Amino acid sequence: MKRVEDKVTLITGAASGFGKAMTKLFAEEGAKVFAVDISDKVKGLEEEVNGEVHGYVADVSNPEQIEAAFKECKNVYGRLDVLCNNAGMTGVVETPLHEVTLENYDKVMNLNLRGAFKVLQEGIKMMLENDGGAVVNTGSVGGYLATPGSAPYIVSKGGVVMLTKQAALEYADKGIRVNSVNPGTAKTALLETFTQEAKDFLAGQVPMGRLAEPEEIASVALFLASDDASYITGQDHIIDGGRITE
């Protein structure tokens, strides 16, 4: 049996990286995926993925567009069973905290934390209309370990850690489970702004000796969204090749 058969699943940041890997895997496992991304490439997933996908263009840093996306999801499918709250960005790298502009800080926070908060709100509202559901937030090992030169990103992902725990506590008795996946550095578009030296440095920090594949993160998200994880909530699952153990 497919693990998320007929479960309506909304995934943000679905056109690339972890979100694209989640979209493909969830669709293959029987989900009806409502895929959201700021890029119109999300529309192409309808033909690319082996399964049911409805692509929708929206900017997760824009509250009105988030509301419109969930409204359309309800129009198309009538309910929401799973939310993969995944959209995010790195922002500046190799920039000391005292040199980070408020403009850049706000840009990262508006997507990674404020946007994630709003997406979570709208998802919970829809799940409360049904019999609950499952949320998987995408955090980062950066929510636990500081990285020089990436202050806005690190602060935003630290917020996602507590956002997950807060929501899990508030809605446990409503049948809504909230967990997170917290990847180490992976082979996604977020690394495009990094120099090769920085990429080599990050890979060198991983005890397993390599960066993560997006599909490895998606597989944990699928488990957490499925009934196999029915007694798991409020947990932050670190997927980093052993880095945080050092």
Domains identified in the chain and CATH numbers: 8-238 (3.40.50.720)
Give the pLDDT score at 191. Answer: 74
Give the pLDDT score at 246. Answer: 43
Residue 43, judged by CB atoms within 10 A of its CB (0-12, 13-18, 19+), counts as: middle
Q: Give dist(CA 177, CA 235) in Å, integer.
A: 10
Q: Give dist(CA 193, CA 229) in Å, integer.
A: 35
Q: Residues 56, 77, 105, 153: which is the catalytic one?
A: 153
Indicate the pTM of the whole model. Answer: 0.94
Give the pLDDT score at 189. Answer: 77
CB neighbours (10 Å) of residue 26?
31
Let me know: does 118 contact 160? Beta carbons within 8 Å. no
Q: From first to last of its 246 residues, what are the pLDDT tens digits of the chain? A: 899 999 999 999 999 999 999 999 999 999 999 999 999 999 999 999 999 999 999 999 999 999 999 999 999 999 999 999 999 998 988 899 999 999 999 999 999 999 999 999 999 999 999 989 999 999 999 999 898 999 999 999 999 999 999 999 999 999 999 999 999 988 887 677 778 887 888 888 899 988 899 999 999 999 999 999 999 999 999 999 998 754
Q: Has 105 been annotated as catalytic?
A: no
Query: Of the candidates 145, 21, 146, which has an alpha carbon nearest to the alpha carbon of residue 84?
Result: 21
Which amino acid is present at 206?
V
Give the pLDDT score at 220. Answer: 98
Let me know: does 56 contact 36? Beta carbons within 8 Å. yes
- Backbone dihedral region of 149: left (phi > 0), alpha (psi from -120 to 50 degrees) or beta? left
Give the pLDDT score at 238. Answer: 96
Q: Is 6 helix (H, G, I), strand (E, B) or coil?
A: coil
Please list the alpha-helical segments (H only) found in 7-150: 17-28, 45-48, 63-77, 102-109, 116-128
Size (the chain), residues? 246
Q: Give dist(CA 188, CA 186) in Å, integer.
A: 6
Give the pLDDT score at 245. Answer: 52
